[in-house]
Amino acid sequence: MKRPLLVGSDIDGTLITTADRVSPRTRECLSRFIDAGGVLALATGRPPRWLLPVLEQLPVRPMAVCANGAVLYDSAADRIIDTHPLLPDQLRAIVDTARSVLADDGGVGVAVERAGTSAFDPQPELFIIAPEWAHAWPAIDFGEADEDDLLAAPAIKLLLRNEALDSADMYRRLAPAIPPEMAHLTYSVSEGLLEVAAPDITKAVGLREIARTLGIPAERVICFGDMPNDTEMLRWAGTGIAMGNAAPELKDIADESTATNDEDGLAAVLERWY
């Protein structure tokens, strides 16, 4: 491809190492890219409130596609630019369907992410769990609500949790029952956790909007990822790169694979030009 003008990068398993660090080599390569006029955009399943530890390690505060495409966030201004929420009727229908399909496996626990107006809004107003929710990672600052109340307001992401299954198993069972026109279903960790967005909302949606605003054609965009929630952006970009540690299904659709996130795989590709 021609020299890329826009880099779209996933965060976990891609931009940062397993120690949650942007390596010196990757930071220096991104600095050269930005100094040459390139644009970095983050594309992550994380909500804006989880970005600060990463932003502090970068040479720029970039635009960020958060919640798998449901939020477009200007990290320099701490401003939510756009949201694509699931509405209450959609939330209720998805939960009822998932609970029915997985009834013999323990059903599902439910939580939601809301957008708010800032990454620094009170966390209990942004991440809210129903009583049966089982955390997939340590969490100490969250809101709780009855499930009916939880699903009664729009949400940028619906989380479905089942401790008896891994995420790939959950996806295989639920995908036939939750078609694309109902919701977009994906996952980014293996611990029995599915992430649900509004129909057709993926990381590619936010990156496409950033590229359109900047006048950058897709063929001058390079995207990096490691999990199934990166599929659509790798397919959309002129060049889609799967990390060496990527899920096999992502490597299957990528234009090429690079080294792992602990081996500076992103920098190894960008150094061809920068």
Mean pLDDT by 10 residues, the chain (274 residues): 95 98 98 98 96 98 97 98 97 98 96 95 96 85 95 97 96 96 93 96 98 98 97 98 97 98 98 97
Residue 2 CB neighbour total at 10 angstroms: 10
Could you tell me the end-to-end alpha-carbon distance of the chain, in angstroms, rounded to an integer? 14
**In sequence order, what DSSP letters do the residues of 41-76 get, joined into one string?**
EEE-SS-GGG-HHHHTTSSS--EEEEGGGTEEEETT
Q: How many Cα atoms sit within 13 Å of 48 on the Cβ side?
A: 30
Q: Residue 58: inside a domain, yes or no?
A: yes
pLDDT (tens digit per residue) in 148-173? 999 999 999 999 999 999 999 999 99
Last residue of a domain, one of 136, 165, 197: 197
Range of the domain at 129: 88-197
Residues 6+ positions from 56 with CB-CB distance below 8 Å: none
Residue 169 included in any domain = yes
Q: Report pLDDT for 237.
A: 98
Which SS3 state, helix, strand or coil, does residue 109 take? Answer: strand
Q: Two tokens at 54?
A: 């990463």
The pLDDT tens digits for 231-243 are: 999 999 999 999 9
Q: Do 128 and 70 share a domain, yes or no? A: no
Tokens 């089982």 belong to residue: 134
- Count of structural domains within the chain: 2
- 8 A C-beta contact, residue 8 and residue 222: yes
166 shares its domain with 230: no
Single out the residue in 162, 197, 232 at which a domain terminates. 197
Looking at the domain assignment, is residue 1 inside a domain? no
CB 186 within 8 A of CB 162: no
